[in-house]
Amino acid sequence: MPYPTSSNPVVAMFGGYFRRRVLRQLALYLALMLALVWGGVAVEQARFATLAESGGKANVQNLSRAFSEEVKATVGLVDLSLVQLRATWQRDPANFARSVAEHARHLRVPMHITVTDAAGRLLYTDAVAGGSAAPQGLALGDLRQFAIHREHGGDRLYVSRAERSRISHQWTVQFTRPIRAADGRLAGVIAVAVPPDYFLRFYDSIDLGPDATVSLLRLDATVIARSSRADGNRHMGATLPDAPQTRDASTSGAFRRVSHLDGIERFYAWHKLPEYGLVVTVGQAVADAEARFAQQREVMRSAGAVVSLVLALLGWAAIGAADRRRRALKALAAAEARWKLALNAAGDGVWDSDVTTGLVTLSPNAQRILDSEHPVVSWFGNDSLAGLVHPDELPAVRAALRAHVDGLTADYAIEHRLRTRDGGWRWIEARGTVTERGERGEPLRMIGTFSNIDARKREEQRMRRMAHEDALTGLPNRVLLHDRMRQAILVAQREGHKVGLVYFDLDNFKPVNDTHGHAVGDRLLRMVAQRVRAALRESDTLARIGGDEFAVLLPRCHQPQDAERVAATILAHLEHPFDDAERTLRISGSLGYALYPDSGPGDGDPAESLLHCADLAMYDAKAHGRNRISGSYRTRIT
């Protein structure tokens, strides 16, 4: 409101003084408050830049861990397939194609199986070249995997570079293992070819902006697969110069740099899988990370202008605006925490917990996964956990939950079994993070997800069983026997006792097969397995090596007579007739035994040496008339 004018000189003089004082005070007030307001705007703009960087780094670190777990699970499944199919090839190559087809029905991994001999000539493949089968005997011996398996002994998994298959002419990554003869020589190579794009399906589930990228590299910095919306996967097979993720000895890490491949500056996080020689990398463009806060920046600038105008008109009304702005920023930070967790989680059931009361609110999907009747359950109480979590995993669940609540871990993540309403157990993966703490740092609120991983756990158990058990008798196979022999020899080396091995096959088994058919022969093998297993100690291992050949591992022996007594017991049980419905089957056995460290060729793998010596002793028993026991090989294993 303007001051009134007056013709009185005194009044006019004092009126001018008051106007100048009000204007001066208003100017000082506005100068102070506008400096504070726009200083606050500048600080908030800088904070948004910091939040963009820290948020981008946190996002790619979380996603790199999730991507590495997915790749690790995929490679582990491929490796289990290699081991199982290799055993199938060695046992029954004639029916290998049928075994491959049966195996493929249980897997969702797109892959092709190839088997070659030691010279690299193609023996089997289920891939096609130009719509027709690949020629038998195709020469593949110049590929890198053959040199690796020829130059290095043992049973190692080799992961190739991404390259075009000579059979299917498609881009593939080769996972190979050697096929070795009984004496350790390379007899061939079995390979599983997987399209590189299969490892990038994770890319479709992330939302880090148009210039995000996920990459799978070997430890020599060669790109196996790389996907981004900007350039697709055209850098497959390139070698990254000066790649920090391959030079750094750590398992995981993060960095910021301009990409050598497309010139885009990104926040990167990487995670190594040293057991497979791989490293996964997730990158988010710096511009995309900062773009998430572009609207907030614009809002902040507009708020500064509005607050400045309000301050000029209303003065202290700016205090209320600043308070509302602080509340809005706090709500925005909480929303960001929930979004990041939902993106990082592998499951589809969300839960929100009040830590102080221990009550958890479940989404409909979380209710379904937990098989819960109620949308609100008690989770954090000791009694509640004991009633829901399997006793074997309960201590680990409590420890993981306590470690995260106490701030010792970045987030809470664990797999465990959960009791369902029908009394059964279901495997779930639980993830969560504390999103709100009190003034003293005490946790107030925790948000997370539940994922149903029951099917994956059952499949893993089935694959492990198939890789280590004989399909006909249910006994351990050669792979599992070899592993237990190594463990027993390590214990014997440490404690100073002996390890015995009895190797035997069935005399007169072939006539039973020829006369009565393979079905009767299979039943006889199962009866032999049951009878011999019942005659052994709990600590002994009976394994079927192949055909009608069996082996018994005696993990603790004191003298050769111990192994000989076990062999005599087995022979006596084999000589008793076997009743198969209306027929009586009569067989016997030729048995050989050997002891570690009293028998063996003197060098190489002690387990293989022990098995070889027992095998020689068994053939000695056969050579001297069958239906007897031999243990005549006496050179020392080292």
Say if strands 265-273 and 252-258 run parallel, antiparallel, or are unpaired: antiparallel
Do residues 612 and 479 both lie within one domain?
yes
Q: How far apart are CA 433 and CA 416, in angstroms?
A: 17
CA distances to 67, 119, 198, 380 from 74, rounded to whole Å, are 11, 29, 10, 33
Report which of residues 249 and 22 the model is more confident about: 249
Report which of residues 19 and 24 the model is more confident about: 24
Residue 533 CB neighbours (<10 A): 16
Residue 196 has pLDDT above 90, yes or no: no
Q: Identify the band that residue 80 occupies on the pLDDT scale cut at 50, 70 and 90.
A: confident
Tokens of 543: 């394994």
Say if strands 629-630 and 359-362 run parallel, antiparallel, or are unpaired: unpaired
Nearest of 209, 216, 252, 443 to residue 343 by alpha carbon: 209
Nearest of 176, 192, 162, 199 to residue 74 by alpha carbon: 199
Tokens of 60: 């790619």
Residue 11 has pLDDT above 90, yes or no: no
Residue 635 has pLDDT above 70, yes or no: no
Do residues 480 and 601 both lie within one domain?
yes
Q: How far apart are CA 404 and CA 432, in angstroms?
A: 9
Residue 99 has pLDDT above 70, yes or no: yes
β-sheet bridge partners, residue 222: 239
Q: How far apart are CA 2 and CA 5, in angstroms?
A: 9
Do residues 488 and 405 both lie within one domain?
no
Per the rule left: phi > 0, alpha: psi between -120 and 50, beta: everything else, 449 is beta
Over the range 446-482, which residues count as b (16 or more CB within 10 Å of their CB) and which as e? Answer: bbbbbbbbbeebeebeebeebbbbbeebebbbbbbbb
Do residues 481 and 416 both lie within one domain?
no
In a domain, 107, yes or no: no
Q: Identify the band that residue 344 occupies on the pLDDT scale cut at 50, 70 and 90.
A: very low
Domain interval for residue 595: 469-630
Q: What is the pLDDT of residue 340?
A: 47
Q: Are 225 and 236 in contact (CB under 8 A)?
A: yes
pTM score, two decimals? Answer: 0.41
Do residues 441 and 561 both lie within one domain?
no
Question: What mean pLDDT is predicted for residues 521-538?
Answer: 91
Taking the CA of residue 66 as centre, how many other CA atoms within 13 Å lie in the half-sphere pointing to its CB? 26
- Interval 278-307: pLDDT, tens: 888 888 888 877 776 676 767 767 877 887
Q: What is the pLDDT of residue 636?
A: 37
Q: Identify the band that residue 413 occupies on the pLDDT scale cut at 50, 70 and 90.
A: confident
- Least confident piece of the model among 150-159, 346-355, 562-571: 346-355
Residue 612 sits in a domain of what CATH number? 3.30.70.270
Domain boundary (430, 455, 480) is at: 455
DSSP state of 168: T
In a domain, 390, yes or no: yes
Report which of residues 630 and 46 the model is more confident about: 630
Residue 412 CB neighbours (<10 A): 19
Residue 241 has pLDDT above 90, yes or no: no
Q: Are 113 and 190 in contact (CB under 8 A)?
A: yes
Amino acid at 586: R
Q: Are 345 and 431 in contact (CB under 8 A)?
A: yes
Taking the CA of residue 16 as centre, how many other CA atoms within 13 Å lie in the half-sphere pointing to its CB? 8
- Interval 114-140: pLDDT, tens: 898 888 888 888 876 554 555 677 777
Q: Are 321 and 310 in contact (CB under 8 A)?
A: yes
Q: How far apart are CA 264 and CA 1, in angstroms?
A: 58
Q: Are 436 and 445 in contact (CB under 8 A)?
A: yes
Domain boundary (307, 323, 340) is at: 340
In a domain, 240, yes or no: no
Report which of residues 472 and 382 the model is more confident about: 472
In a domain, 556, yes or no: yes
Interaxial angle between packed helices 509-516 and 518-534, expressed in degrees from 0 to 180 and rounded to the nearest 10: 140
Do residues 477 and 614 both lie within one domain?
yes
In a domain, 430, yes or no: yes
Do residues 312 and 363 both lie within one domain?
no
In a domain, 305, yes or no: yes
In a domain, 146, yes or no: no
Amino acid at 7: S
Residue 333 has pLDDT above 70, yes or no: no
Question: What mean pLDDT is predicted for residues 222-241?
Answer: 71
Do residues 310 and 378 both lie within one domain?
no
Do residues 433 and 574 both lie within one domain?
no
Do residues 446 and 590 both lie within one domain?
no
Q: What is the pLDDT of residue 42?
A: 83
Question: What mean pLDDT is predicted for residues 476-494?
Answer: 90
Report which of residues 309 and 468 the model is more confident about: 309
Do residues 480 and 514 both lie within one domain?
yes
Domain boundary (455, 485, 519) is at: 455
Q: How far apart are CA 213 and CA 282, in angstroms?
A: 6
Do residues 612 and 489 both lie within one domain?
yes
Report which of residues 254 and 3 the model is more confident about: 254
Q: How far apart are CA 417 and CA 453, in angstroms?
A: 10
Amino acid at 591: L
Question: What mean pLDDT is predicted for residues 587-594?
Answer: 93
Render 361-415 in DSSP notation, one character per residue.
EE-HHHHHHHT-SSSEEE-SSHHHHHHHB-TTTHHHHHHHHHHHHTTSSSSEEEE
Q: What angle do CA 595, 600, 606 make, to 5 degrees?
A: 85
Tokens of 619: 């053939």
Residue 49 has pLDDT above 90, yes or no: no
For residue 356, how far is the Cα from the chain centroid?
Answer: 34
Give me the percent of the chain exceeding a pLDDT of 90.
13
Q: Identify the band that residue 556 occupies on the pLDDT scale cut at 50, 70 and 90.
A: very high
Residue 426 sits in a domain of what CATH number? 3.30.450.20
In a domain, 535, yes or no: yes
Residue 436 has pLDDT above 50, yes or no: yes
Q: What is the pLDDT of residue 250?
A: 83
Query: What is the domain count for the chain?
Result: 3
Mean pLDDT for all residues in the chain = 80
Tokens of 562: 């111990």
Q: What is the pLDDT of residue 9?
A: 57
Q: Identify the band that residue 500 occupies on the pLDDT scale cut at 50, 70 and 90.
A: very high
Q: What is the pLDDT of residue 300?
A: 67
